[in-house]
Every structure is written in structure tokens, then in C-alpha cells.
Amino acid sequence: MSKSTSLYNKYLLFIAGLGGLLYGIDVGVIAGALPYLQATTDYTPGQLSTVVAAVLLGSVLSSLFAGALSDLFGRKKVMLLAGVCFVLSVPVICSPFGFEALVLGRILQGAAAGLIGVVVPLYLAECLTADKRGFGTGMFQFMLTVGLVFAALAGIVCAEYVDGVVSASYATVKEQADAIFAAKDFAWRAIFWICAVPGVIFTIGAFFISESARWLYGKGKTEAALKALERSRGLEQAKKELEEMGSDSSADDSKKEDADKPKDSLIQKKYIIPFVLAVVILACNQATGINSVLAYIVDVLAQAGLDGSVANQGDLVVKILNMVMTVVAMVLVDRKGRKFLLTVGTSGIIIGLLGVAFLFLKSERDMVNYTDKLNSEAYNRVIVENVINEKTGLEERDASGKVLTKNVEYAFYATVTPQEIQALTKAETFVPSQVKIVYTVNGEMSVKTIVVREDTPVTNLEFKVPAAEGQSFEIKSLEIGPLPSAANGWLVTFFFAIFIAAYAVGPGVCVWLALSELMPNRIRAMGMSIALLINQGVSTVIAGTFLPVVGNFGYSTIFFFCAACTVIYWITAVFFLPETKGRTLEEIEAHFEGKKKL
């Protein structure tokens, strides 16, 4: 391999890695920006939820059409489109045009993620040699994890800036309020602007990569396909691979203009098995609960017995572990193979999830239901107070002097003293305890945990829920039980570490390979779009049901369910998935057609 060929392959991996980085940023950027967005706008909880979910809507819509677009216009042009959508999303999000522009910008970000999730693994599978395809796709996943950390670091940098403004001295209260508001308003916008930088580099860099040779060949552009292959293979290897494409029946058929012959579709027999395999793998990949674990891990660790600051440290450790183990997967995937890593990875996920589930089951069995003792008059009411405007630090009044700014809160009060908790839990001596309250605001379920220690005042336990005026509020349940120990929290963290490490080594990398390698050439783009759409659908369902399941049945139930889904994943990997290590895409397709054994 010549020096220029080697350099181009490295450049190709760099651009593809940036695609993974953007995908990770899309997922993680809102976490750091949301607290400041909430503090500097008057958006309701429902509107903020829409801002968070808009990226998923954009992703679902774009992934649905990504395959058709990449088949019609080529892989390179769709990658450029993804980069443009990402870059344009930032000025739209940060514009002064309010909620609608913010949602539109988030939809554009989601559209970029959906396109990238389909077209970059597709492009890598078609452009890399068989012995480098696993490493290249691993690079995409590794940079995805880097994107999550990059977004988190952007949030940390801006948080430190805000903290510096808050701790500074000011002449007046109004001056302080103005400065803090300006700092928070700058912070959430700065987080998005910082994350736009890799988007610009990706978009510019994508101009200088070659189009997929397999797409060019399928369009009858043989000379252009040879040139594209020569750039990454060298002339002799390019000619050999082009001949292999020509010997592939489906690729040859794609060049024939035969009006009487129907086009290949996903429902033909020779495509059913690889398509179903890819769909099952992608669906089970989300059914492991990976996205929900990453989203809620701080709350879960706090519930397991770690205090807030330590739980945040546990979150950072998990994300770093995810990155490190993805590097391990990149090294092993082309040596040990996809089937081996998926088998090992799913086994570790099952162990990790079962460990977490059993630890929570033990804690949940010690909880005592206190719901029937609730006094409805004590909590089912609204307190409306005139408060200082968070934006200006002053009350807003109309011409008549009436205060316009209102803070709407649902307040819950319950007299639950340490002595009462000791009696309820039938403990010989008082132990630190937790009061778990499940409530809904306008039908949206949340869980609130209040810690009660011996020095807790004998007065009422209290919590308030901000809401839009007129929204409904209901306490669903209240349970009391011993507070899990820090040792229990660290044990849960240990099993989560097993889960994350196993996911990164196996499914984290191999899922993208399964998505791109299993699909036959003729239907690869459209099949990947459908499979990824199902993947996102499962992710959405689990994310939407996570808190309701936890509220009604506890953490143990959701983690037992995810472990059961991972057993299906393991069975699929062990008994049905062929080993594709070192095989060309044409050889893999021939295997599913019954022409060749892998």
C-alpha cells in the first residue's frame, strides 16, 4: 500500500470518526444546556420536554429517508447534507426567535444524527477493506462516546463560568441578578456554539472524500468506481475488487435496465434472514436499556445509596469506561470477530443487569406502602405566589401595579417523623430512611425521594413541584423504607461498570457492523434505514416507559426486563449470527444466498 493510499484511509477514518462525534454530541449536548435554558426562559415543563424530544423526532424522520436519499444521490452527498443540517442547527437554536426556532434547530440536529447513523456506517462498510472494516466502524462508535464526553465537558466549562459570575461581588441585588441571568443565557448558547466546531470540520472534510465505489458501480459508473477504489486500495487491488463486484449477481443485475423485471425488495426470500437478523440485533441493542442507563444513571446511583456528588462522579467514571472499552473493542473486532465479541458482550450485560436488578429488589422489598395514610387536603392544592422575576431580579407589574410574574407550585406536606418511620419499618433502632413519592404533573410521571435521618426536623417533610398554572397534579404512591448504604451504592456501580464495559466491547461496536454488513448490496441503504428506525423506536418506547415502570414497579423490574431482552440478544449472536470477520460484503451476501459458507 502506497503512502498516499495509507494517508487517504486515515483521512477517511478521521472524517467518519467526526461523524460519530457529531452523533454523540447530538445525544449529549442538551444535558448541560437544559438547566440554563430553564433558568433564563419561561418555558413550561412540557415545552422543555419538547425541546429535549425534538432531536428524536428529527432523527426518526431523517433515518426513514436516509437510505432512499443515499441510494438516489450517493453516500457522500448525504454525509454533506448531514453536516450542513448540524451546522445550521446551531445558529437556529441560538437565535432570538424563541421557542419555535429552538425546536426547529433541535429537529435539524436530530435530522443530522439520523442521516449520520445510517450513511456513515454504510459508507465505511462499502469503502473499507474487509480486514479494516471492524476497526473503522469501531472508530465511529469510539468517537460517538467521545462526543458524549465532549458535550459534557462543554457543559462543565460553561458551568464553571457561571459559578464564577455567581460568586463575584456586586454593588446591588439587581446588578447581581442581571449578571447571573446574562451568564446563564450565554452559557446554554455557548454550549451549542462550542459543539458546532466539529460539525464545521466534518462538513468541510466530507468534500474531499471519494464517493462509495459500490454505489458508483451500481449506477453503471465503472471508471469512477475504479478511481474511488484505487484511492484507498491501490490500482491492482482496486481492479481485483471491481472484478469481484462484477461477478456478484445482484450488483450485476442492478446495472441492467429491464423494465419487465421487478426490482429487488426486502421481502424476497434471500433477503429475509439477513434483514431479520439486523432488525433483531438493533432492537435488542436498545432493549438492553443502554440509553436510559446513560440518561438516568446519576438518579439511579443516588437511589442505590450514593450521595449526589459521588453519583455524579460515578456517571463520569462510567462514560470514561465506555470510551476505554470501545478502544479495546476496536483492537479486538477484526482479530476475534463480531460473533465472539457479541457473545462475550451480551453475557457481561446480562450479568451486570441481573446484579443491579437483584440489589434493587432487595431494597424495594424493605419498603412499606404509606399511600393510604395520605391526607388529600394536604397535597392536592395549588400555591400561587408572586415572586421575583428570574430574568430581571425584579417584580413585573402592569400599569395598575398588579404583579404579572407568578410562580405556580404544587406543594406536598406529610408529617413523617423519624420515630414514625422506625415504627413503620419495625426496626429496633432508627436507621436512615427514604420516603419515595411517585407523582404526576399533567399525566407526566416523576419520582421524588426524600432522605430522613435522625436529625431531620420533626416538622413536616415537604417538596414543591413547579408547573404551569392549571396543570393537574396527583400523588400516585408514597413508600418508606431504609436508605440503602453507600456500600450498596458502590456495589450497584460495580455491576453498572460490568454492564457498560461489556456493552462497549460487544454491542457498542458490533451493532454498527451488523447494520451495514448483513444487508445485501442491492437493499443495503433502505434496509439500514428501516432497521435503524426500529432501533430508535425501541429506544423511544423504553425511554418513555422507564420512569412509569420505575414509579409503579421499581428499578428491579425494568432491569430484569432489559436482562431478559439481552438473553434474546445472546441467543441470536450465538446460534444465528454468522462470523463476518475478514469477509467482503459480496462473500457475506453469497452466504445468505446459499452459495458460500462463511
Contact 572, 280 (CB under 8 A): yes
- Secondary structure letter of residue 262 according to DSSP: P
Cα 585-591-596 angle, rounded to 5 deg: 110
In the prediction, which pLDDT does 414 show?
52
pLDDT at position 79 over 90: yes
pLDDT, position 420:
62
For residue 588, being part of any structural domain is answered with: no
pLDDT-based confidence at residue 176 (cuts at 50, 70, 90): confident
More confident residue, 270 or 581: 581
Greater confidence (457 vs 367) lies with: 367
Query: What pLDDT digit, counting tens, does each position of 294-347 carry?
Result: 767 777 887 888 775 576 667 677 778 888 898 898 888 888 888 899 999 999
CB 146 within 8 A of CB 24: yes
Question: Which of 463, 481, 499 finishes a domain?
Answer: 481
Same domain for 63 and 166, yes or no, is yes
Same domain, 112 and 190: yes
| pLDDT, average across residues 467-483 | 70
Same domain, yes or no: 357 and 489? yes
- pLDDT of 384 reads 37
What pLDDT does residue 48 have? 75
Q: What pLDDT is attached to residue 331?
A: 85
Domain count of the chain?
A: 3
Q: Write down the pLDDT at residue 568.
A: 95
Domain, as residue range, for 511: 272-367+483-566
Residue 597: inside a domain, yes or no? no
Least confident of 146-150, 537-541, 593-597: 593-597
pLDDT surpassing 70 at residue 208: yes
Q: Kindly state whether residue 263 falls inside one of the protein's structural domains.
A: no
Question: Could you tell me if 143 and 206 lie in one domain?
Answer: yes
Q: Is the pLDDT of residue 400 over 70?
A: no
500 band by pLDDT with thresholds 50, 70 and 90: very high
Residue 69, pLDDT > 80, answer: yes
Tell me: pLDDT of 471 over 70.
no
Residue 261 lies in a domain: no
Q: Is the pLDDT of residue 271 over 80?
A: no
| Residue 411 · residue 439 · CB < 8 Å | no
What is the pLDDT, as a whole number, of residue 427?
63
Contact 418, 424 (CB under 8 A): no
pLDDT attached to residue 265 = 53
180-204 core/surface letters (b: 16 or more CB in 10 A; e: else): bbebbbbbbbbbbebbbebbebbbe
C-alpha 149/C-alpha 163 separation (Å) is 21
| Residue 96 predicted with pLDDT over 50 | yes
Local confidence band at 235 (pLDDT 50, 70, 90 cut-offs): confident
Whether 348 maps to a domain, the answer reads yes
Q: How much is the average pLDDT of 115-139?
A: 83
Indicate whether 199 and 218 sit together in one domain: yes
487 and 477 assigned to the same domain: no
- If asked whether residues 134 and 4 sit together in one domain, one would say yes
Checking if the pLDDT of 557 tops 90, the result is yes
Distance CA 309, CA 305 (A): 12
Q: Is residue 264 part of a domain?
A: no
Q: Is 584 within the bounds of a domain?
A: no
pLDDT at 378 over 50: no
Is the CB of residue 509 less than 8 Å from the CB of residue 138?
yes
Q: What is the 3-state secondary structure (H, E, C) of 74-94?
A: CHHHHHHHHHHHHHHHHHHHC
Tell me the three state secondary structure of residue 480: strand
Within this chain, do residues 225 and 97 fall inside the same structural domain, yes or no? yes
Whether 283 and 177 map to the same domain: the answer is no
User: Do 452 and 496 reside in the same domain of the chain?
Assistant: no
My answer on whether 242 and 294 are in the same domain is no
Lowest mean pLDDT across 5-19, 267-281, 329-343, 388-402: 388-402
* Average pLDDT across the chain, whole number: 79
Answer whether residue 446 is part of any domain: yes
- What is the per-residue pLDDT across 341-372, written as a single tens digit (0 to 9) for each? 999 999 999 999 999 999 999 888 877 777 76
Same-domain check for residues 466 and 501: no
**Spatial separation of the C-alpha atoms in residues 110 and 50, rounded to whole Å:** 13
Write down the pLDDT at residue 353.
96
Could you tell me what percent of the chain has a pLDDT over 70? 79
CATH number of domain containing 280: 1.20.1250.20
- Of the residues 465, 481, 497, the one at which a domain ends: 481
| Rounded Cα gap, residues 300 and 295, in angstroms | 10
Where does the pLDDT of residue 86 fall: very low under 50, low under 70, confident under 90, or very high at 90 and above?
very high
174 Cα distance to chain centroid: 40
* From 231-245, 246-260, 446-460, 533-547, the region with the lowest mean pLDDT: 246-260
- Residue 203 has what pLDDT? 94
Give the per-residue pLDDT at 156: 80
pLDDT at position 84 over 90: yes
Show which of 481, 502, 517 is a domain's final residue.
481
